[in-house]
A and B are shown apart, each in its own frame.
Chain A
Amino acid sequence: MLILVGSLLPAHGSTLTIEITQGAEGALPIAVVPFAWRGDAGSPPPHAVGDVIAADLRRSGRFKPLPPNEMLARPSRGEEVDFRDWRALNVENLVIGEISPNGPGGYLVKFYLYDVFRGEQITGYSMPTTARDLRATAHSIADIIYETLTGQPGAFATRIAYVTSERAGKGSEKVELRIADADGYNPQAIVSSKEPIMSPAWSPDGRKLAYVSFEKAQPSVWVQEVFTGKREKITSFKGINGAPAWSPDGRFLALTLSKDGNPDIFVMDMARRSLRPITRHWSIDTEPSWAPDGKSLVFTSDRGGSPQIYQVSVNGGEPSRVSFDGKYNARASYAPNGKILTMVTRVDGQYRIATLDLETREFRVMSTGRLDESPSFAPNGSMIIYATRVNDKGVLAAVSTDGRVQQSLRIQEGDVREPVWSPFHQQERNR
């Protein structure tokens, strides 16, 4: 009696196929070797470029940089690299670099990115820069590494805007609207006032900031050019003028105005300066935010009894409710891919940052504070910046969109609130 032979024996000549279905998910192990300084040992560069790059990559949640004290070698040139040193540590990618003096006050930064297990270089650049722009160069390198290895653009060379307030003696406050690097360094004040400043919003070309100022004891919406400081008052109707939000093409500004009796959403055509109401309801409608396709907005409304997120077409019409988890959801904004919203939600009496996936309806609470607010997506959608309170002081924190990594940003002086992340287009720096 013949028995058929099992089917694992392929016919002569065909290839063996093996299916792999299990594995681990996690941040990519990478080693950023501290860059070598080729100049005078007594006057090193003002920033440790390798540290800035490693911190950026770690903050994104996609990378796990190896601490320098665990490195078996510190190569700074291609010929010094022995891949065995890095395979032994299970590091998949290696970054090495060097900085040399380049004229008075100038530096030349070279870096190389390697694939450790393939044993080859992936890319390398030589970047002239200055002491002032050294951090920006480091952020650009982090962007290149991020994009090469993840396929998505990096957002490390972007900026954030936020509001700080400090006691200024005699019971008065000093309030400032500041711009800083996305990691919190290099803060610069662009507006300074004794009265509150609120709701900063970047224009899509990154050259203007809209905000609400209470100067002259009345809230009004202003638009200010970031690089020249020129500012212009946009609205100052009776009552509330607040929550400015730029449309994705920069031609319109959504606003909350209560001039008609109760707070409603309006859209202003910036060229013609004409206003159009989007919502008309006796409830409070505020905090508008545009969808990336510019066709609809989300906003906060308490028309259902307590604050929830609603969506409305840019042409007006009946808004539909979007948030159903919990009794309080507010201050929503879109991720750049239009598929996720971030918002403030209330859980057990505590205000936390959450994300809502609009396709799967998955609602995830991302932060753990008591009074977290003002979430804002990075322009590549990989991180969310927000304000939280530490020791009763407002500070900024960032969480990666997958929830893996949380970090406090360098703590500024005073109370810090309302962070907003700039878009990609920034023309000030030289790359």
Chain B
Amino acid sequence: MFSVLRRNPVALGLAVLLHVALAVFLALEVDWRDKIKPIGADVVVVQARLVDQRELDAAVSQRKASERAEAQKIAAAKRAEREEAEVLKKRRAEEKRKLAELEQKKEQRKVAEAKKKVEAEKVRLAEVKRKEEEKKKQEAEKKRQVELEKKQKLEEQKRKDEEEARAKAAAEAKAKKEAEAKKKAEAKRKAEAEKKRKAEAKARADREAREAELAAQFAAEQDASETARVVALIRAKVERSWLRPPGTGELGLRCTVRVRLGGNGSVLLVNVVKSSGNSAFDRSVEAAVRKADPLPMPKSKRLAARFRDIEFVFEPGN
């Protein structure tokens, strides 16, 4: 084999070269494929649609119609413009006229005002004169009054003095009489005061008794309402805890238990005093009371004493 190779050096060289090249390309992982560029943002994608001839016609006619409408619109617009100009001209003439009117009116007003001022001045002067004359009259009157008063006072004084003397004498006589009457009245008053005091004392006593009665009533009513409140709480708690066997609600069963409670409502003893005849029902009754432990108790120790022994009657549906 080596002789063949030696006889064809060129072929050998080319072959080796080829293999080396291949190896290089393999090692370098040259990719011979055509690089296909993915469609990206630089390519414009045409949203093509199949066009229908009818659609085309429709589009054309639509376009013509719209052009016609367009022309009409323009004509109408021009017309409108012209009309507007007219209106503006008219308005301006109107305004000019109005201004002239206003000017005229202003002049007339000025004249009238000047006249009014002159009149007012005349009136004012007349008024001032009148006031002065009035004042003079009042002062004369005042003087006269003062003279009259002085005279009256003097006469008054004389009369008073005479009366005083008379009154004094009468008063002394009266005083004597009154002193006597007072003494009598005093005695009477004392007697009456005594009577009144006795009556008041009695009334007070009555009132106190009455108040005590009311207080007792009130307390009793408080007790009653507190008792009712606690009974309702107890009933609610026991009813919440009562789970009885299925079907026993409609058998007309009735079970009575006697419960002894501690001071804080804890259940100390439960005894069935009257069985329902159904042992499962009786059990459920006892369990209900025990599950409701501790039972609510009244706030006052005094009332709580009445709750130490309770009889529960369990009777569904009554």
Contact = CB atoms under 8 A, between A and B. Distances in A.
Interface stretch (A3-11, A135-143, A173-181, A270-278): A3-11
B311 A16 contact: yes
A65 to B, nearest CB: 15
Contacts of B227: 8-9, 16
B290 A118 contact: yes
A92 B245 CA distance: 12
B228 interface: yes
Contacts of A9: 220, 223-224, 227
Contact of B245 (A15, A28, A115, A118): A28
A431 interface: no
A305 B287 CA distance: 53
Interface residues of A, number: 35
Interface stretch (A19-27, A36-44, A210-218): A19-27
Contacts of B312: 17-20
Interface stretch (B63-71, B158-166, B234-242): B234-242
Contacts of A19: 235, 312-313, 315, 318
A402 B293 CA distance: 31
A24 B243 contact: yes
Given A25-B243, A90-B291, A92-B287, A20 B221 contact: no
B314 A20 contact: yes
A366 to B, nearest CB: 14
A391 to B, nearest CB: 31
A89 B288 CA distance: 15
Nearest to B219: A5
Interface in A358-390: none
A151 B243 CA distance: 16
A383 B224 CA distance: 50
Contact of B246 (A16, A87, A115, A402): A402
A26 B224 contact: no
A190 interface: no
Contacts, number: 117
A150 interface: yes
A150 B245 contact: yes
B22 to A, nearest CB: 69
A154 interface: no
A324 interface: no
Contacts of A402: 246-247
A92 B289 CA distance: 12
B266 to A, nearest CB: 13
Main SS at interface, chain B: helix
A21 to B, nearest CB: 5
A5 B244 contact: no
Nearest to B249: A25
A339 to B, nearest CB: 12
Which of A8, A16, A115 has the largest number of chain B CB atoms within 10 A? A16
Nearest to A117: B290
Contacts of B62: none
A5 B239 CA distance: 29
A23 to B, nearest CB: 3
Contact of B313 (A20, A87, A404): A20
B204 interface: no
**Most central of A3, A15, A62 by chain B CB within 10 Å:** A15
B307 A16 contact: yes
A226 interface: no
Interface in B115-160: none
B238 A20 contact: yes
B243 A149 contact: no
Contacts of A22: 239, 242, 316
Contacts of A20: 235, 238-239, 242, 288, 312-315
A36 B310 CA distance: 42
Interface stretch (B5-13, B42-50, B79-87, B276-284): B276-284
B272 interface: no
A345 to B, nearest CB: 21
Contacts of B238: 18, 20
A330 B220 CA distance: 68
Given A5-B221, A28-B243, A402-B246, 20 more contacts: A3-B217, A8-B224, A9-B220, A9-B227, A15-B310, A16-B310, A17-B313, A19-B235, A20-B235, A20-B239, A22-B316, A23-B242, A24-B242, A25-B249, A26-B243, A62-B246, A87-B291, A115-B287, A117-B291, A149-B280
5 contacts: A8-B227, A18-B310, A18-B312, A19-B315, A118-B286
